[in-house]
């Protein structure tokens, strides 16, 4: 198997691990608070740090940054993104949650215009409008009841976009260990404090789902790193959309979800919008951006 083929295979394995992680937290069925799930999931993810360290980097670099403001912003976005995603998977079907989380590339375009003053052509704006049209098809406001899960999914996608834009502006000056460290430490400390008022000790089965959530997330991060070392980001990121296949499969086989025709149409439109937006974004990324780690909506 060629190095490129290995990279593509690792990318698909990574996003299948992300999907299993998301299914694990959904299997909690809201029996624990989102803060508690995020805390134990992020704390389990610390197991990936030794594998993510590059030569010359030290473990304590996870707590250090040349730009402290960037580090704290990344940590905060990781916290809100994780809580939003867990809330989405708790209250929505996996396919519906993913369809809204996949708005992240659309949010990246909008935030890049506002904060980075990037020029955006008509093709990228068409992709943005297509993404929002897909959301309207999925949500059908006025024809179905919306809940906190929809808000959580939007917050998750928006938080991921904030991380992408922030890394584009400052990430090339930071070490990989620092960037990943902020993404783990923010949810661990933030969710750890927020969960204290209503904390309940997990049951043995809840521990299984919590560890599945955290450890599969850690495994996915490692696989994405190994994939990125073999192939360019333009080949790694599109594999993320394979998660929708896993989401539909888990939905039917595990959770009893059903994807109606209108939701399937909206999901397809959102995914197409994300792919088109990503291709335009990839063409405009500065060379230094390649050093930043990939960002998962969750």
Q: What is the pLDDT of residues 105-137, one digit of tens each?
A: 788 878 888 887 777 777 878 888 888 888 888
Distance of alpha carbon 89 from its chain centroid, rounded? 12
Three-state SS at 142: coil
Percent of the chain residues topping a pLDDT of 70: 89
Query: What are 61-91's pLDDT values in tens digits?
Result: 888 888 888 889 989 999 999 999 999 999 9
Answer yes or no: is 298 within a domain. no
Contact 134, 269 (CB under 8 A): yes
Contact 14, 239 (CB under 8 A): yes
Question: By residue range, what is the domain housing residue 152?
Answer: 3-291
- Only one residue has tokens 């980097």, namely 57
Answer yes or no: is 297 within a domain. no
List Cα–Cα distances, 179 to 85, 87, 129, 205, in angstroms.
Answer: 20, 24, 31, 32
> 282 pLDDT exceeds 80?
no
In sequence order, what are the residues at sequence separation of 6 or more whose Cβ sits closer than 8 angstroms to the Cβ of residue 150? 88, 91, 92, 100, 139
Per-residue confidence band for 298, with pLDDT thresholds at 50, 70 and 90: low
Answer yes or no: is 296 within a domain. no
Cα torsion 237, 238, 244, 245: sign: negative
Question: How many structural domains is the chain composed of?
Answer: 1
Q: What is the mean pLDDT of residues 244-260?
A: 87
pTM comes to 0.86
Query: What are 195-228's pLDDT values in tens digits?
Result: 999 899 999 999 999 999 999 988 888 888 788 7
CA-CA distance, 18 to 25, in Å (whole number)?
11
Answer yes or no: is 152 within a domain. yes
Report which listed range, 43-57, 170-184, 196-210, 259-273, is most confident.
196-210
Answer yes or no: is 52 within a domain. yes
> 26 pLDDT exceeds 70?
yes
pLDDT at 278: 66
> 143 pLDDT exceeds 60?
yes
Q: What is the mean pLDDT of residues 143-165?
A: 87
Report which listed range, 5-9, 138-142, 283-287, is most confident.
5-9
Answer yes or no: is 244 within a domain. yes
CA-CA distance, 181 to 60, in Å (whole number)?
9
pLDDT at 142: 64
List Cα–Cα distances, 243 to 36, 95, 101, in angstroms.
Answer: 24, 9, 11
């Amino acid at each position: 198997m060629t190095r490129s083929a290995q990279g593509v295979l690792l990318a698909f394995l990574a996003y299948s691990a992300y999907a299993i992680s998301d299914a694990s937290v959904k299997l909690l069925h809201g029996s624990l608070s989102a803060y508690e799930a995020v805390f134990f999931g992020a704390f389990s993810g610390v197991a990936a740090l030794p594998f993510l360290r590059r030569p010359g980097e030290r473990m304590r670099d996870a707590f250090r940054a040349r730009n402290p403001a960037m580090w704290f912003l990344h940590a905060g976005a990781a916290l809100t993104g994780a809580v939003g995603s867990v809330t989405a998977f708790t209250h929505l079907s996996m396919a519906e949650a993913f369809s809204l989380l996949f708005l992240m590339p659309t949010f990246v375009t909008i935030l890049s215009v506002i904060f980075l003053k990037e020029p955006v052509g008509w093709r990228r704006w068409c992709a943005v409008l297509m993404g929002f049209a897909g959301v309207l098809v999925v949500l059908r406001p006025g024809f179905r009841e919306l809940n906190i899960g929809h808000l959580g999914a939007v917050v998750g996608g928006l938080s991921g976009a904030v991380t992408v834009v922030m890394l584009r502006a400052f990430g090339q000056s930071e070490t990989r260990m620092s960037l990943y460290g902020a993404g783990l430490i923010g949810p661990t400390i933030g969710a750890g404090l927020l969960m204290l008022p209503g904390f309940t000790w997990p049951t043995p089965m809840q521990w299984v789902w919590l560890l599945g959530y955290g450890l599969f997330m850690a495994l996915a991060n490692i696989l994405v790193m190994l994939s990125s070392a073999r192939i360019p980001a333009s080949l790694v990121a599109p594999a993320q959309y394979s998660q929708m296949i896993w989401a539909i499969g888990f939905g039917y086989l595990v959770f009893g979800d059903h994807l109606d025709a209108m939701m399937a149409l909206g999901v397809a439109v959102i995914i197409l919008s994300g792919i088109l937006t990503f291709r335009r974004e990839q063409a405009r990324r500065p060379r230094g951006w390649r050093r930043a780690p990939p960002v998962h909506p969750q």
